[in-house]
Amino acid sequence: IINSMTPLERRKPELIKATRKKRIAAGSGVQVQDVNRLLNQFEETQKMMKMFSKGGMAKMMRGMSGLMGGKFPGMR
């Protein structure tokens, strides 16, 4: 999928709208929903890395425990 993106699309994935997604999907032999899934995973990873860089590992773990509906063992 990534190889079907232009260098600009790789640098700025926010530029990728519906018509570009169709082209990328056709060029990589997948469906548009697969392109959407990759872009969503990338966005979530970016958010996690920003959280990690701003508040360190403890803040990231607190954020993840909220997503999991409970606490990690040993965390207060």
The number of C-alpha atoms within 13 Å of 63 and in the hemisphere containing its C-beta is 14
What's the pLDDT tens digit per position in 2-57?
A: 999 999 999 999 999 999 999 999 999 999 999 999 999 999 999 888 887 877 66
Sign of the four-CA dihedral 55, 57, 62, 63: positive
Question: What structural domains does the chain harbor?
Answer: 2-68 (1.10.260.30)
pLDDT at 50: 86
For residue 40, count other CB atoms closer than 10 A to its CB: 10
71: left (phi over 0), alpha (psi -120 to 50) or beta: beta
The pLDDT-based confidence of 61 (bands split at 50, 70, 90) is low
The yes-or-no verdict on residue 74 having pLDDT over 60 is no
CA dihedral 12, 15, 19, 21 (to 10 degrees): 40
pTM equals 0.69
